[in-house]
Amino acid sequence: PKKVVVVGGGDTSIDVASVARRLGHIKTINPKDHPDGLIIGHTAQDVSTALAKEGADVTLTSLFPVESMTAAEHEVQDAMREGVRILGNVMPIEVIRDESGRATALKMSGCTVEGNRPIPKEGTEFTLEADIIVAAIGQLGDLEGLEALDNGRGFIDADKFYQVPGRPGHFVIGDIVRPHLLTTAIGQASIAVDSVDHYLKHEELVKRPKVDVHHFNLLQKLKEAGLEPESCPTGELRGTSELECAVHNYEDRSAQEIIPADKLFLAHFEYTPRIKRKEIGPSAEEVIGHFEERFVGFTDEEAQAEANRCMSCGMCFECDNCVIFCPQDAVYRVPKDKSTTGRYVATDYTRCIGCHICSDVCPTGYIDMGMGE
Ligand SMILES: Cc1cc2nc3c(=O)[nH]c(=O)nc-3n(C[C@H](O)[C@H](O)[C@H](O)COP(=O)(O)OP(=O)(O)OC[C@H]3O[C@@H](n4cnc5c(N)ncnc54)[C@H](O)[C@@H]3O)c2cc1C
Ligand code: SF4
Ligand code: SF4
- Closest by alpha carbon to 334, among 348, 344, 322? 344
The pLDDT, as a whole number, for residue 366 is 86
Q: Whose CA is nearest to atom 4 of ligand 3?
A: 322
CB 100 within 8 A of CB 46: no
Does residue 197's CB lie within 6 angstroms of at least one atom of ligand 3?
no
Structure confidence by residue, pLDDT tens digits, 154-178: 999 999 999 999 999 999 999 999 9
Determine the topology of domain 3-135 in CATH: FAD/NAD(P)-binding domain (3.50.50)
- Nearest listed ligand to the Cα of residue 321: 3
Structure confidence by residue, pLDDT tens digits, 14-52: 999 999 999 988 665 554 544 443 333 333 344 334 445
> What's the ipTM?
0.84
Structure confidence by residue, pLDDT tens digits, 211-239: 555 567 777 888 888 888 777 778 887 77
The pLDDT, as a whole number, for residue 15 is 94
| 45 φ, ψ (degrees, to nearest 5) | -70, -40
- Residue 175 Cα to ligand 1 midpoint, Å, equals 6
Strands 103-114 and 90-97 come out as antiparallel
DSSP string, 63-125: SS-GGG-SS-HHHHHHHHHTT-EEE-SEEEEEEEE-TTS-EEEEEEEEEEEETTEEEEPTT--
Residue 192's pLDDT band, with cuts at 50, 70 and 90, is very high
The pLDDT, as a whole number, for residue 105 is 97
- Residue 67 Cα to ligand 3 midpoint, Å, equals 47
Is there a common fold for 3-135 and 248-279+291-373?
Answer: no
Q: Which atom of ligand 1 is nearest to the CA of 174?
A: 26
The pLDDT, as a whole number, for residue 277 is 93
The pLDDT, as a whole number, for residue 209 is 61
The pLDDT, as a whole number, for residue 314 is 82
The mean of the pLDDT values for the chain is 86
Half-sphere exposure of 196 (CA within 13 A, CB side): 10
- Residue 242 Cα to ligand 1 midpoint, Å, equals 55
Q: Taking residues 267-277, what's their average pLDDT?
A: 93
The pLDDT, as a whole number, for residue 49 is 45
First and final C-alpha spacing in the chain? 72
> In the chain, where are the structural domains located?
3-135, 147-208, 248-279+291-373
Structure confidence by residue, pLDDT tens digits, 320-357: 999 999 999 999 998 888 888 778 898 888 899 999 99
Cβ < 6 A, ligand 1 pocket: 11-12, 15, 142, 174-176, 180-183, 185
Does residue 331's CB lie within 6 angstroms of at least one atom of ligand 2?
yes
CB 25 within 8 A of CB 85: no
From 366, 368, 369, mutation site for ligand 3 pocket: most ligand atoms within 8 A of C-beta: 366
The pLDDT, as a whole number, for residue 44 is 38
Q: Taking residues 182-195, what's their average pLDDT?
A: 94
Q: What is the CATH number of domain 248-279+291-373?
A: 3.30.70
Compute the C-alpha angle 142/147/151, nearest 5°: 85
From 320, 324, 356, mutation site for ligand 2 pocket: most ligand atoms within 8 A of C-beta: 356
Name the helix (H) or strand (E) containing 156.
Answer: none
Neighbours of 95 (CB within 10 A): 13
